[in-house]
Amino acid sequence: MNILYGVLILLGLGVLLAVGIVLFSKIFYVKEDPRIDDVAKMLPGINCGACGKAGCRDLAEGLVKGEIKKVSQCKAGKKDKNYDPIIEYLSNHPDEDGTTHIPTI
């Protein structure tokens, strides 16, 4: 019986906190460049940190903004699986003002 109570209490807390987080993420929503998410999806997504960034999403942001010039900074990536699609994607999707930051391999 005790175990059931424990499970129910933890379940309740988890749901309550999850609802809280979702609410706050809606209240404090920050508009971001949608391309960052797209590029992040093309990276391996293992957040190894070998590129020197805090994670794959951080590297994707650097690539989109043109701060990072070489895709091969992502050590875990493969040429045909990760590098080529990112380069192709970034050459087809320019900034709002029309400039493109196309990284090389």
Partner 1 sequence: MSYLVAFLLAIISSTLIDNVVLSRFYGICSFIGVGNKTKSSIGMGLAVTFVTVFATIICWPIYNFLLIPAEIPYMDTVVFILVIASLVQIVGYFIKKKSPSLYKTLGIYLPLITTNCAVLGVVQGNTDSGLDFGMSVANALGTSIGFFIVIFLFACIRERLEGYKVPKALKGVPIALFVAGLMAMAFLGLQGVAG
Catalog residues that contact partner 1 under the rule CB under 8 A.
Answer: 2, 5-6, 9-10, 13-14, 17-18, 20-21, 24-25, 27-30, 54-55
Q: Which is nearer to partner 1, 9 or 105 (CB)?
A: 9
Indicate the helix (H) or strand (E) that contains 36: helix 34-42
Q: Are 80 and 88 in contact (CB under 8 A)?
A: no
Q: Which is nearer to partner 1, 20 or 94 (CB)?
A: 20
Give me the sign of the Cα torsion angle 75, 80, 85, 87: positive
**Shortest Å, Cβ 92 to partner 1:** 27
**DSSP percent split of the chain into helix, strand, coil, nearest 5:** 60, 0, 40
**Shortest Å, Cβ 59 to partner 1:** 13
Q: Which is nearer to partner 1, 21 or 105 (CB)?
A: 21
The partner residues of 104 in beta bridges, in order of sequence, read 70
**Shortest Å, Cβ 32 to partner 1:** 10
104 phi, psi to nearest 5 deg: -105, 175
- Which residue from 37, 101, 40, 35 is spatially nearest to 67, judged by alpha carbons? 101
Q: Which is nearer to partner 1, 58 or 84 (CB)?
A: 58
**Shortest Å, Cβ 80 to partner 1:** 30
